[in-house]
Structure 1
């Protein structure tokens, strides 16, 4: 089947591809929207039928995945974890065996490097390229097509993935020709990101015990050496008392768990990461697992006997 010519936002002509984005959460929906805006025929799939309907209403292509798989040039998998990624690709309704030779999978979930290597080998056995491509940047950058992708794969894999990468990412780090290198770098990123969120929550609530309000904390520290991207992005959620989950507490139980599993396998001691993980575990244990990851601050606030800005008016909590 021939691909149709299309033009991008700069008016340059290119061959439009047929793309499926599987997983329409906050990141996946933004990726699907960015790929669609770039001129590619984009299908969105999710267990939440309402999200699929919303995407189709905004211009996404409709269709059954099993029926369109043979025509796809690329499949972007933006699900929660390794198990879901494997199921999407090779489960009972797995898409890889249905895809045409030379097509490509862009796998964006945080998974252990050895899982990425295994999935890449299985895809290659089906004649399908596999780009180990974890992402960073958050929902806002996903919606703008400005993600960072920590990617590894063969030269041919990058070539096959390039049209979609150009649509969804501002920066693509090419980290080698073997799957697993991208996932290893994502583990490093998640180690820092998780620690930074927990440290932000600890510092903000410590400041409150010293008479520093959360909004003062953000105004001052965001302009001082103690800042971080996570502080500047997450601390305002605490100030607003808004824990709508852009990235949930439960994500960090998974991601920091992966980091520590990798560290353990290599006999690497990571005590700061372990301490951060325990704070997220505590937050989940106190019922905040589905809330925004800034809700880890509630653990510190409860222990210190201090009240954060209004937490959840809908539930009547303060």
Structure 2
């Protein structure tokens, strides 16, 4: 039975997940930023002075990093976590890093007596703290049995998509294709409405009430309308995250020899946004790529 969970990476998602898990488990947290560790400690998470200390004797190790390179460095770099994991521990990968290399990571962890649970998630920091995430999982039945209590504490929708690591990343890649395209399309649509002289708020209300609606239009639309305000919209998901994720989509499509022209066009909008200095803004700021200034 899982009783101790280590959370490595206490950023925008890692911290609320650690806090949520601390309601049920003993949780040890570590981040390279000391202030994030201090915030976690205020929320019932035991502060660890190192990642190695955090994972000692932990049955489950939840990892919240940004890229596949960071994941490899964390596990197998100098002083990597793999050598400090408890025998039989599961490493729960919550990040979207793509399918490339996941099988090799699982094999290398197995050599250290650990198992990989591929569990990328969606939902944002607020929903993470409420246990309201969508999590898709690829894992062996044995690994899943250990990780399931942890995942169920975090998820309102837990979908087991396959029995091997990489399956979760594959489905998340498909998910991100749609999310990225929908965000970009919402920005273009609202920019067009602005260019045509329509009332932006009334336009958004009409669109979300009809067949043109999507989750991303309803969720990002109001924030896109704030993109021209001083400071822009509250940052709930950075634009440069979709630079990464749409790159993952493109890589996966090329490996599959599949043409994805709509996804490629959306990727270019996010890349342009990053080049224009919008990367740290909310991803709804992609509207400013097609319409740098408010037109009406």
- Is TM-score (shorter-chain normalized) higher than 0.5? yes
Tell me whether 1:151 sits opposite 2:141 in the alignment.
Answer: no
Tell me the matched-pair count.
291
2: distance between equivalents of 1:51 and 1:33? Answer: 12
Alignment partner, residue 79 of structure 1 = 65
Select which of 172, 179, 182 maps to 1:196: 182
SS in 2 for 1:114: coil
Closer/same/farther in 2, CA of residues 16 and 264 from structure 1, 3 Å limit: closer
1: distance between equivalents of 2:70 and 2:181? Answer: 25
Cα drift, residue 49 of structure 1: 1.5
Deviation sequence 1:135-184 (CA, Å, 0-9, x none): 11222211111111111111001001012111111121111111111111
Give runs of aligned pairs for residues 50-61 of structure 1, distance below 5 A: 50-61=35-46
Contact 1:146 1:170 in 2 (8 A): yes
Deviation sequence 1:72-97 (CA, Å, 0-9, x none): 11111111110111112222132122
1: distance between equivalents of 2:53 and 2:120? Answer: 27
1: distance between equivalents of 2:75 and 2:199? Answer: 48
Closer/same/farther in 2, CA of residues 144 and 118 from structure 1, 3 Å limit: same
SS in 1 for 2:128: helix
Structure 1: 5+ residue runs without aligned partners?
1-14, 309-318
Deviation sequence 1:42-62 (CA, Å, 0-9, x none): 122222221110110121112
Contact 1:21 1:78 in 2 (8 A): yes
Select which of 178, 193, 196 maps to 1:210: 196
Select which of 12, 15, 27 maps to 1:29: 15
Cα RMSD, aligned residues only: 1.6
Give runs of aligned pairs for residues 123-138 of structure 1, distance below 5 A: 123-138=109-124
Alignment partner, residue 142 of structure 1 = 128
Alignment partner, residue 5 of structure 1 = none
Deviation sequence 1:254-308 (CA, Å, 0-9, x none): 1111111111122111100010011111111111011110111111112xx5358
Alignment partner, residue 234 of structure 2 = 244
Q: Which segment is superposed worse, 238-247 or 151-160? A: 238-247
SS in 2 for 1:122: helix
Structure 2: 5+ residue runs without aligned partners?
none
Give runs of aligned pairs for residues 166-315 of structure 1, distance below 5 A: 166-240=152-226, 241=229, 242-302=232-292, 306-307=294-295
Contact 2:16 2:128 in 1 (8 A): yes
TM-score, reference length from structure 1: 0.87
SS in 2 for 1:287: coil
1: distance between equivalents of 2:11 and 2:267? Answer: 23
TM-score, reference length from structure 2: 0.93
Closer/same/farther in 2, CA of residues 307 and 117 from structure 1, 3 Å limit: same
Cα drift, residue 236 of structure 1: 1.4
2: distance between equivalents of 1:60 and 1:227? Answer: 40
Cα drift, residue 248 of structure 1: 1.0
Deviation sequence 1:17-38 (CA, Å, 0-9, x none): 111111222221221111112x
Which contiguous aligned blocks of 4+ residues in structure 1 show a shift greater than 6 angstroms?
Answer: none
2: distance between equivalents of 1:92 and 1:307? Answer: 52
Contact 1:30 1:145 in 2 (8 A): no
Tell me whether 1:43 sits opposite 2:44 in the alignment.
Answer: no
